[in-house]
């Protein structure tokens, strides 16, 4: 086996684990990056999205704060805290008649306002889907790469470029980037707080019936979103993923594990689609870590191990590279794409084009419910700096604006949504109920790059 050189010094070894241990022990406190030659980069990087590229000078550029709201404890970018707290507020008032103030935050920068204006301007040049006869012609218009393999535009590329690699730090892996082992109490929460158990619930006939539930999972939200979006007079068309995708929210323990919860949401689709017949129970975070480590050992996107060090038993964050490695290890093919700002178009616009084209490609087998279309398509693993979510749909409004519909692991299903899912009425306004699931084109304009991973499997009815 060829020798592998430490990216930070001249130490060499033929054993990857020797170099890995050396990096963990000797370079943890000073995570700087040196460039590797093209041959090494090609060997270690088949999938290196832009946000996973090392940023040697940027370790202190992004600062985190721990949300002190009850039942939260999420580590949030300081630049993202206003939006995070606004989501908390919308959940807090989900059972009142209050409305949300959509005024721009006074902390919003001039550059962000300019980017939002650019998104608004792009709305004027986007076609109205209802003025076209078929989804095919609309797909041909959009610049995003559909899952049929159309060529990418300049700012949209497969997340596969060979970039200089090295050990990532807190900017990419979070506050626990150099952790050797998570605390025992966190490990215990991950092992025991999301186990299936039986409860008794009233069925449609008013009789108690046993039901198996997992406390941090919610089923049935996709059909409910279809109904609620149809009731919103400002919405023109809504596209949604497979109806059986579950919302998974975080467990109450110290550490952000959003990447793992999003993997679990992808798994809820794959299990419903029959793509994983041997998986009887959704794996927990520790089991997902084991599978990612196994993928790296099997030479599946092995550069991830070099970038993160060992993730087994730690609270290090994972991203699209680890998600892709995980699904590939399971035998599930994936498509990974990255979206970056270009001279002529923002990443947010390219992303929305791509997502809309993706869902339109599934209209043939979709279940139409008013203005909503529930497809058989997979949800999408969605990454931006500091956080990942699961895209479950896209909403086009009558004014031409667009909004992603997402499941965000940071927040539990609201009381209002739970009431509706149980067949009860809710006093909350429609916009309040939908707020936690919507990410507007204006809010997306704050970010300069995004990454997505889409698992590929035949849908089921």
- CA-based nearest residue to 96, from 451, 433, 321: 433
Residue 327 corresponds to which tokens in the numbers above? Answer: 């699904």
pTM of this prediction? 0.72
* Domains identified in the chain and CATH numbers: 4-455 (3.90.70.130)
Cα–Cα distances in angstroms (integers) from residue 403 to residues 16, 194, 214, 279, 392, in the given order: 44, 31, 29, 33, 11
Distance CA 67, CA 72 (A): 6
Q: Give the whole-number percent of the chain exceeding pLDDT 70.
A: 63
Does the pLDDT of residue 252 top 70, yes or no?
yes
Lowest mean pLDDT among 54-68, 170-184, 438-452: 54-68
Q: Mean pLDDT across the stretch 177-202? A: 91
Strands of 14-69, DSSP E = 64-66
Q: Is 89 exposed, middle or buried (0-12, 13-18, 19+ CB in 10 A)?
A: middle
Does the pLDDT of residue 76 top 50, yes or no?
yes
* pLDDT value for 41: 34
pLDDT digits (tens, 9 = 90+) for 106-145: 345 555 555 556 665 655 555 555 433 333 333 333 333 3
Distance CA 306, CA 332 (A): 23
Q: Mean pLDDT across the stretch 176-184? A: 93
Cβ atoms of 182 and 314 closer than 8 Å: yes
Secondary structure of residue 439 in the 3-state scheme? strand
Cβ atoms of 165 and 45 closer than 8 Å: yes
Residue 193 neighbours by CB distance under 10 Å = 14
Q: Which residues fall within 8 angstroms of residue 21, CB to CB, at 6 or more apart?
A: none
Strands of 152-292, DSSP E = 156-158, 197-202, 208-213, 217-218, 235-240, 247-248
Distance CA 47, CA 36 (A): 16
* pLDDT value for 40: 32
Q: Is 64 exposed, middle or buried (0-12, 13-18, 19+ CB in 10 A)?
A: middle
């Amino acid at each position: 086996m060829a020798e592998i050189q430490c990216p930070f010094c001249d130490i060499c070894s033929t054993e990857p684990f020797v170099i890995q241990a050396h990096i963990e022990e000797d370079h943890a406190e000073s995570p700087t990056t040196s460039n590797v030659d093209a041959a090494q980069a090609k060997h270690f990087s088949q999938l290196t999205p832009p946000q996973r590229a090392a940023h040697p000078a940027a370790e202190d550029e992004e600062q985190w704060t721990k949300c002190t709201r009850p039942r939260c404890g999420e580590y949030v970018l300081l630049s993202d805290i206003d939006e995070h707290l606004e989501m908390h507020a919308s959940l807090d008032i989900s059972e009142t008649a209050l409305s949300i103030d959509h005024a721009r935050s006074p902390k919003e920068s001039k550059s962000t306002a300019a980017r939002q204006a650019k998104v608004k301007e792009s709305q004027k040049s986007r076609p109205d889907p209802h003025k076209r006869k078929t989804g095919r012609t609309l797909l041909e218009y959009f610049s995003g790469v559909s899952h049929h393999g159309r060529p990418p535009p300049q700012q949209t590329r497969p997340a596969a470029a060979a970039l200089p690699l090295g050990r990532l730090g807190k900017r990419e892996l979070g506050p626990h980037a150099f952790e050797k082992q998570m605390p025992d109490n966190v490990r215990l929460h991950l092992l025991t707080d999301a186990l299936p158990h039986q409860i008794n619930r009233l069925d449609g006939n008013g009789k108690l019936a046993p039901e198996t539930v997992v406390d941090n999972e919610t089923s049935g939200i996709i059909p409910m979103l279809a109904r609620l979006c149809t009731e919103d007079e400002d919405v023109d068309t809504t596209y949604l993923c497979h109806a059986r995708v579950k919302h998974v929210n975080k467990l109450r323990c110290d550490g952000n594990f959003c990447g793992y919860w999003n993997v679990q949401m992808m798994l809820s689709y794959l299990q419903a689609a029959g793509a994983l017949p041997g998986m009887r129970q959704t794996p927990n975070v520790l089991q997902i870590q084991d599978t990612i480590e196994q993928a790296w050992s099997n030479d599946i996107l092995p550069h991830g191990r070099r970038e993160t060090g060992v993730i087994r038993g730690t609270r290090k964050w994972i991203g699209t590279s680890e998600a892709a490695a995980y699904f590939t290890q399971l035998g599930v093919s994936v498509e990974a794409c990255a979206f970056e700002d270009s001279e002529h178009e923002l990443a947010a616009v390219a992303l929305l084009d791509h997502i809309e084209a993706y869902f339109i490609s599934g209209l043939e087998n979709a279940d139409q419910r008013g203005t909503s279309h529930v497809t058989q398509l997979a949800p999408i693993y969605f990454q931006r700096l500091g956080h990942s979510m699961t895209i479950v749909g896209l909403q086009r409004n009558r004014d031409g604006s667009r909004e992603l519909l997402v499941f965000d692991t940071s927040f539990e299903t609201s009381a209002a949504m739970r009431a509706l899912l149980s067949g009860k009425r809710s006093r909350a306004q429609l916009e309040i109920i939908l707020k936690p699931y919507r990410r507007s084109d204006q809010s997306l304009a704050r970010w300069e790059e995004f990454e997505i991973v889409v698992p590929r499997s035949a849908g089921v009815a």
